[in-house]
Amino acid sequence: MCGIVGYTGCNNATPILLEGLDTLAYRGYDSAGIAVWDGEQIVMKKEKGQLANLKAIIENEPVFGVCGIGHTRWATHGEPSYVNSHPHGDTKKQLVLVHNGIIENYLRLKNMLIDRGCEFVSDTDTEVVAQLIGSVYSGDPKAAIVEAMRFIEGSFALAILFRDDPHRIYCACKDSPMVVGFGKDGAHIASDIPALLSYTRDVTFMEDKQIAVLSPEGISFFDEFGEWIDKPVVHIDWDMDSAKKGSFEHYMIKEICEEPVAFRKTAEQYVSFREMRLKGDCFPWGDGDAQSIKRIRIIGCGTAYHAGLLGKKYLTTLAKIPVEADIASEFRYADYVFEPGEVLLLISQSGETADTIAAMRMAKQAGVRTIAVCNVIGSTIAREADEVLFTYAGPEIAVAATKSYLTQATVLFLAALRLGQLRGTVSDDEVSALLAELEGLPAKMEALIEQRGDIQYFASREFSARHVFFIGRGIDNALAMEAALKLKEVSYIHSEAYAAGELKHGTIALIEEGTLVIALMTQRHLAAKTASNMEEVRVRGANVLAVTNGRLDDIEGHCSKVWQLDETNELLSPFCAIIPMQLFAYYMAVQKGCSVDKPRNLAKSVTVE
């Protein structure tokens, strides 16, 4: 979604803003703009399309100044165009601002402001905020923001420059993230951590209806009534290199290659491999939980939901506890009645996904305990959930989630194992044996990544496919769902996941000569069943690829190609099996010349409904 940056200090703001916007480009955008105080006036430059267009304009007409704000816009209200790009200002030309989020009552406010004489130039909800703040402004920026916030319904992260106070940036937030930090040459804001990493790793996360005032000397925070508040500084241990592409062609392949390390780093937080035991204190489960938790409801969106499906399998198998998994956008409107003893387990890489946040708040309001699996310290979900199990994937820049999925699955597996241990459904010996096997997984993952040339070759022959089906049973069905999502989002090839046994109930009608069907077969007890389904599609002309860690004689004759994985415990098989699926999606997209890291229409962090 949209990205915001801002800087005030002693250096030229323009290159800092442009670099910040570059870093945030992964969030997805269709226009960009900046506003800089040049010592006399606020100069605005904006343009539709790629950041390169904005940069070209600035190269021709350079802008110098020590205080400025910038924005990448992902259109919601009004098409991507010059006039709809941010920054926006008010009719009296007292301020300009950039905005992330959605103003839900913007039409009502717009009509009220038109009656008061405001002249609108864009179709955006953002301009309504600029006009609203301008209409209540009488020389005190903070007071105007406090007053305006009382009228606004919806979500917002705002960065505002006032003409009367041009060395300060005023920020305000509600349900949309904003991070601030003070570097050695001034104060910075951004809507996401990576844009601050070049300047500081000590940051403060803004919370709902809080106001921040950034000046070259420091940053002050205020509550929704304008009263001064103290806010904690959080140290982020991500380094700059982890947010840079380095020698890789795309972030997506870099992040796939980082999976063995991300997996190990995450597992080591929860496991003592020296003693082959789980670190009991690192899990949210207390002794009483073994009996008091009656049901776990897992919530997430997209890939995070797919990791949740693996979590469901882990919790039911290992902890023998009833588990449901739901998509957050459905769950939040399902009129669901929580039962006593129910726990909501939220999964989110960014910790900022609007629907997942809404589900979390619903549960909290109902007095239900919330536990999050999250990658970003200080994010809304990490702050508001009752307990957090962090993943240690580091920054994930490519829009398509890869290492975050793997680390979410890791945490879910370990949390299920610990709960099973407490409930007595898994013995200590079984725990040690599973952990010993887990310790060996990074080497297996690395071997798969090293052999990626084979997958690249396969993709070079298949990239003109128009439809791809992924089939599997049990855990493999959950994996198939993630494999299909990965392929469609980065390569734009229509792909579907189907429970292998369901094919006959309708979907098999779509199989024709040459249709690519990828059969995931990592569950030995289900292999023979899936092999029959492979045969059913093969005899109807499908080109079948099998991905298996089992015996080849189970599948011989039913497929034209096999990707053989090392043998692992069936519950652990997704950690290796997902890697070829992600690599396949990546190479198909590369072959097709797609924008791999920033697929069309998609945004990394879905902060609006």
In angstroms, the CA 194 to CA 362 distance is: 30
Catalytic residue among 2, 171, 173, 257: 2
Is residue 489 involved in binding ligand F6R (CB under 6 A)? yes
Scan residues 69-98 and list those touching ligand F6R (CB under 6 A): none
Size of the site for ligand F6R (CB under 6 A): 15
Ranges of beta strands (E only) in 494-571 are: 494-499, 516-521, 543-548, 561-564
Q: How far is the CB of 526 from ligand F6R (least distance, A)?
A: 26
Q: Which of 94, 135, 204, 349 binds ligand F6R (CB under 6 A)?
A: 349
Q: How far is the CB of 429 from ligand F6R (least distance, A)?
A: 35
- 332: tokens are 């939040």
Helices (H), 76-171: 106-115, 125-136, 141-149
Scan residues 282-321 and list those touching ligand F6R (CB under 6 A): 301-304
- 539: tokens are 């005899």
Q: How far is the CB of 348 from ligand F6R (least distance, A)?
A: 3
Q: Encode 213-246: b = buried (16+ Cβ within 10 Å), e = exposed.
A: bbbbeebbbbeeeeeeeeeeebebebeeebbbee
CB 329 within 8 A of CB 358: no
Q: In this structure, which amino acid lies at residue 133?
A: I
Please identify, among the stretches 333-341, 342-350, 443-451, 570-578, the one whose residues bind ligand F6R according to the rule CB under 6 A.
Answer: 342-350
Is residue 481 involved in binding ligand F6R (CB under 6 A)? no
Q: Please say which residue, 72 or 356, places its beta carbon nearer to ligand F6R.
A: 356
Angle, CA 384 vertex, CA 382 and CA 388 arms, to 5°: 40
- 220: tokens are 């002050």
Q: How many CB atoms lie within 10 A of CB 52?
A: 11
Per the DSSP assignment, residues forming a β-bridge with 218 are: 215
Is residue 356 involved in binding ligand F6R (CB under 6 A)? yes
CB 146 within 8 A of CB 211: yes
| Residue with token string 């292999």 | 527
Q: Which of 211, 373, 400, 416 binds ligand F6R (CB under 6 A)?
A: 400
Is residue 348 involved in binding ligand F6R (CB under 6 A)? yes
Q: Please say which residue, 30 or 355, places its beta carbon nearer to ligand F6R.
A: 355
Q: Please say which residue, 6 or 580, places its beta carbon nearer to ligand F6R.
A: 580
Catalytic residue among 110, 174, 403, 604: 604
Q: How far is the CB of 467 from ligand F6R (least distance, A)?
A: 20
Which residue of this chain has its Cβ atom nearest to ligand F6R in the complex? 302
In angstroms, the CA 404 to CA 298 distance is: 16
In angstroms, the CA 131 to CA 115 distance is: 12
Q: What are phi and psi of 126, to 5 degrees?
A: -65, -40
Q: In this structure, which amino acid lies at residue 392?
A: Y
Q: Which of 350, 391, 491, 495 binds ligand F6R (CB under 6 A)?
A: 350
Q: How far is the CB of 604 from ligand F6R (least distance, A)?
A: 7
**Nearest Cα to Cα of residue 156 among 107, 100, 204, 211:** 100
Q: How far is the CB of 191 from ligand F6R (least distance, A)?
A: 14
Q: How far is the CB of 400 from ligand F6R (least distance, A)?
A: 4
Please identify, among the stretches 74-82, 349-357, 464-472, 533-541, the one whose residues bind ligand F6R according to the rule CB under 6 A.
Answer: 349-357
Q: In this structure, which amino acid lies at residue 447?
A: A
Is residue 382 involved in binding ligand F6R (CB under 6 A)? no
Q: In the chain, what are the helix, strand and coil shares in percent, each to the nearest 5? A: 40, 25, 35
Q: Please say which residue, 160 or 596, places its beta carbon nearer to ligand F6R.
A: 596
Q: Can you tell me whether residue 120 is helix, strand or coil?
A: coil
Q: How far is the CB of 205 from ligand F6R (least distance, A)?
A: 16
In angstroms, the CA 267 to CA 256 distance is: 17
- Can you state the angle between helices 452-462 and 573-591, rounded to 10 degrees? 50
Q: How far is the CB of 482 from ligand F6R (least distance, A)?
A: 8
Ranges of beta strands (E only) in 500-571 are: 516-521, 543-548, 561-564
Active site residue 257: no
Q: Which of 131, 135, 242, 353 binds ligand F6R (CB under 6 A)?
A: 353
Q: Please say which residue, 317 or 605, places its beta carbon nearer to ligand F6R.
A: 605
Is residue 133 involved in binding ligand F6R (CB under 6 A)? no
Active site residue 604: yes
Is residue 377 involved in binding ligand F6R (CB under 6 A)? no
> Which positions from 436 to 475 touch ligand F6R by CB under 6 A, shown as an x/- string?
----------------------------------------
Residues at the interface with ligand F6R (CB under 6 A)? 301-304, 348-350, 353, 356, 400-401, 485, 489, 605-606
Catalytic residue set: 2, 604
